[in-house]
């Protein structure tokens, strides 16, 4: 589905993905926004578009040097620009430099079981003037990032930077070059070094690994740079074909090995043969050669080995009983190997393996985390499938992010437990206007409380209330759901925002913007389109408070999701902690500084989700319909955005007048949820059909998973 350019006679065009004509009031609201002089390029309307305050819900507005508080509402982790990222080409790049590359590149990522793989990634500027912390590791590396950025722990789980403590073990990333220039990567799950080009190949980035009849499969570096492991620089070959190719280059006086290289190659073979892995490799190769020789020249073989045992027996016995033989046996039994992590000498290969595993646990540890007194623009990577990437500092970190997680459970485990699960959720997570009776440690330790005194004076009496509401659902269209996808996999999903404190902050700044508009005599088409100009104190104050509220909203979802996950683990895993198969976290009702059409603009997504290339997002239906996990296609005309849900067909009051309680019961059949008058305004019939909404944005996103809820908790 492509967009439609609406005929609204405005200075700035309006592009609509709604697939239907706008109503009179909707057209007026779109026209009002598109008439503002600082709107950039055009206004984009998503498929779920409907009436809102100031601007349509489901609209994306890019502006130059101005922001409209009422057009945002409030609902949303990263590294400073010089953070170095290792790529498979053997070089390190500042993350800011990668953000300027308009293409994918290959990084190292890690599975929850500690297996390092190669994966495609893109980099992006994620926040302007973000607060920072510094994480210092035991290898003296320092990492400067936002407090909420998640680090991968040694057990494959994640923890935010601000919650790391001294001694915390992190998933390690060790790399080095061998004497021939090949990149080696230490695998955390086995403590063994593996050649990076085979990691790339086994990650599926070169297609299926071929088999060559009668030959061992090897990988050739096309540019003869052994550390450059980009997939397009690697080529599968049979080992004999590979050797023949290099010999042909020598014969044509082309670049390959000189006599010096050949001597180094032979020395490397001899050294490899001294290692357990090399010994096993050459023993197997020798066995294969002997068997082939026995098959092809059986008579010659029999003649060659005649009386071998008798002829060699006396020499072998004599050598073993000699001083030289005894010394050699003792030397082999007591041979020491150097630990590449700490440099200590350890007896035997098995001893070295055990030393790495139990002494170092093959990790890096945190020394300390300190809060920095300055802000900076920050960047992050989007890494497909694995959602983490390695830093040059030697650790793996999560890439950025309604909330949804895919759990390692099948739907049949839910049978007979749905009502108990819903009641437990409602007991653990306050809804509506309710607050937490007890404030947990994760809430009181939230680092952004330190900035509360800098917020608008109009909210200074709300700190206690804000603290008690952190980790609560609220009302309206907010929800907590247990879902099942078409593969019968269990998902957890929730939608909530910045609660009362976000609403109060927005109201304070909206009133300030309106007062300024009156003083300036601005003739606005709608008072709710009052705005702040960049560079003014009012703009800076609003932008600061908006960032704080967006951090609050994210933390609110994180706290609830942690409780939600524990409830599901209680019922489906006997309380055992599990690792999600996929995590998605996205914001809507927010503004961010981004680059579009080559210019930096402020993008306001009101009831819309960012859908840059390969961004994961959530598009939920109503409480009886399907929901979708999606991946963005990076559509430039939509400012890389998509809808955040189905969108309302009826207002809340009208829904209550049109539908009855019997309608609600019928439309939510098969869903364990409240079925009373207080949630009648959330009946599925009050929303647009989600399938229709999805059909209108096939150029914006691709569907990753289709979900159907079986438990729904509303405020």
SS (HEC) of 459-503 = HHHHHHHHHHHCCCCCCCCCEEEEEEECCCEEEEEEECCCHHHHH
Burial bucket for residue 109 (CB in 10 Å: 0-12, 13-18, 19+): buried
* 140: number of Cβ within 10 Å: 8
Compute the CA torsion angle 423, 427, 433, 439 (nearest 10 deg).
-160
Compute the CA torsion angle 270, 272, 277, 278 (nearest 10 deg).
-30
The end-to-end CA distance of the chain, in Å, is 34
Q: What is the bridge-based pairing of β-strands 672-673 and 701-714?
A: parallel
Distance (Å, whole) CA 38 – CA 87: 40
CA dihedral (208, 212, 214, 215) positive or negative: negative
Two tokens at 233?
């620089």
Cβ neighbours of residue 151 under 8 Å, at least 6 residues apart? 135, 158, 159, 160, 161, 164, 170, 395, 396, 397, 398
Q: Which has the closest alpha carbon to 613: 634, 590, 640, 592?
A: 634
Q: How far is CA 534 from CA 7, 37, 593, in A?
A: 31, 14, 12
The DSSP secondary structure of 660-683, one letter per residue, reads -HHHHHHHTTT-EE--SGGGGGG-
Two tokens at 173?
């990333």
Burial bucket for residue 655 (CB in 10 Å: 0-12, 13-18, 19+): buried
Helices and strands in the chain: count of H runs, count of E runs: 18, 37
Length of the chain (residues): 715
Distance (Å, whole) CA 310 – CA 308: 6
Burial bucket for residue 276 (CB in 10 Å: 0-12, 13-18, 19+): exposed
In which region does residue 409 sit, left (phi positive, over 0), alpha (psi from -120 to 50) or beta (all else)? beta
Active-site residue set:
644
Rounded to 5 degrees, what are φ and ψ at 683? -55, 140
Long-range contacts (CB closer than 8 Å, 24 or more residues apart) made by 186-194: 186/340, 186/362, 187/114, 187/115, 187/116, 188/110, 188/114, 188/115, 188/116, 188/154, 188/362, 188/363, 189/113, 189/114, 189/115, 191/353, 191/356, 191/357, 191/362, 194/116
Task: List, edge to edge, every strand of the sheet that includes 183-186.
Answer: 175-177, 183-186, 193-195
Distance (Å, whole) CA 272 – CA 200: 23
Distance (Å, whole) CA 184 – CA 199: 10
Distance (Å, whole) CA 512 – CA 279: 77
Cβ neighbours of residue 496 under 8 Å, at least 6 residues apart? 472, 473, 474, 478, 553, 556, 557, 560
Two tokens at 127?
């926040």
Task: Give the helix/strand (H/E) hosting 314.
Answer: helix 308-321
């Amino acid at each position: 589905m492509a967009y439609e350019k609406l005929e609204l006679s405005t200075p700035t065009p309006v592009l609509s993905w709604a697939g239907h004509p706008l109503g009179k009031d909707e057209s007026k609201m779109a026209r009002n926004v598109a008439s503002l002089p600082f709107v950039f390029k055009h206004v984009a309307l998503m498929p779920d578009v409907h009436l809102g305050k100031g601007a349509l819900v489901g609209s994306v507005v890019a502006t130059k040097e101005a922001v409209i508080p009422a057009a945002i509402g409030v609902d949303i982790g990263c590294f400073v620009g010089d953070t170095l990222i290792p790529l498979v080409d053997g070089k390190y790049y500042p993350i800011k430099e990668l953000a300027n590359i308009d293409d994918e590149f290959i990084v190292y990522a890690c599975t929850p079981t500690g297996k390092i793989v190669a994966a495609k990634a893109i980099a992006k500027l994620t926040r302007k003037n973000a607060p920072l912390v510094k994480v210092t590791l035991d290898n003296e590396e320092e990492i400067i990032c936002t407090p909420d950025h998640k680090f991968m722990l040694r057990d494959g789980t994640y923890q935010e930077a601000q919650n790391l403590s001294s001694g915390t073990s992190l998933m390690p990333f060790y790399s080095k070059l061998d004497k021939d220039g090949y990149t080696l990567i230490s695998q955390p799950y086995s403590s063994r070094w593996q050649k990076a080009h085979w990691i790339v190949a086994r990650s599926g980035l070169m297609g299926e690994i071929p088999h060559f009849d009668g030959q061992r499969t090897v990988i050739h570096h096309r540019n003869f740079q052994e550390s450059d492991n980009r997939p397009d620089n690697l080529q599968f070959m049979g080992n004999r074909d590979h050797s023949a190719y290099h010999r042909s280059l020598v014969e044509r006086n082309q670049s390959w090995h000189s006599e010096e290289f050949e001597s180094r190659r032979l020395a490397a073979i001899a050294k490899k043969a001294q290692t357990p892995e090399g010994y096993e490799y050459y023993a197997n190769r020798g066995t294969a050669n002997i068997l082939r020789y026995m098959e092809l020249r059986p008579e010659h073989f029999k003649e060659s080995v005649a009386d071998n045992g008798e002829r060699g027996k006396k020499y072998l016995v004599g050598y073993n009983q000699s001083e030289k033989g005894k010394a050699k046996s003792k030397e082999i039994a007591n041979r020491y190997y150097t630990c590449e992590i700490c440099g200590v000498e350890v007896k035997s290969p098995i001893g070295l393996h055990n030393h790495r595993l139990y002494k170092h646990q093959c990790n890096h540890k945190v020394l300390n985390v300190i809060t920095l007194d300055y802000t900076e623009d920050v960047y992050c990577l989007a890494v497909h499938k694995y959602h983490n990437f390695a830093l040059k500092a030697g650790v793996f970190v999560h890439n950025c992010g309604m909330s949804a997680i895919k759990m390692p459970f099948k739907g049949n485990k839910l049978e007979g437990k749905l009502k108990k699960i819903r009641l437990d959720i409602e007991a653990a997570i306050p809804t509506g206007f309710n607050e937490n009776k007890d404030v947990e440690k994760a809430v009181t330790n939230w680092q952004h409380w330190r900035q509360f005194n800098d917020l608008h004076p109009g909210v200074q009496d709300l700190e206690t209330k804000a603290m008690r509401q952190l980790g609560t659902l609220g009302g309206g269209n907010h929800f907590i759901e247990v879902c099942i996808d078409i593969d019968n996999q269990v998902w957890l999903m929730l939608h909530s925002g910045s609660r009362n404190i976000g609403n109060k902050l927005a109201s304070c700044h909206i009133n300030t913007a309106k007062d300024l508009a009156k003083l300036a005599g601005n003739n606005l088409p709608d008072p709710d389109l009052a705005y702040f100009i960049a560079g003014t104190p009012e703009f800076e104050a609003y932008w600061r408070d908006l960032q704080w509220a967006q951090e609050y909203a994210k933390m609110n979802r994180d706290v609830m999701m942690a409780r939600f996950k524990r409830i599901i683990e209680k019922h489906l895993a006997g309380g055992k902690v599990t690792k999600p198969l996929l995590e998605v976290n996205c914001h809507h009702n927010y503004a961010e500084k981004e680059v579009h059409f080559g210019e930096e603009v402020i993008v306001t997504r009101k009831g819309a989700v960012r859908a840059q290339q390969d961004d994961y997002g959530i598009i939920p239906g109503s409480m009886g319909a399907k929901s979708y996990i999606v991946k963005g296609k990076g559509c430039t005309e939509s400012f890389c955005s998509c809808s955040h849900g189905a969108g309302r067909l009826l207002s809340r009051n009208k829904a209550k007048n049109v539908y009855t309680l019997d309608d609600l019961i019928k439309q939510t059949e098969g869903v364990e949820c409240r079925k009373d008058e207080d949630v009648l305004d959330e009946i599925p019939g009050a929303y647009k059909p989600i399938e229709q909404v999805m059909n209108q944005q096939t150029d914006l996103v691709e569907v990753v998973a289709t979900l159907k809820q079986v438990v729904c908790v509303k405020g």
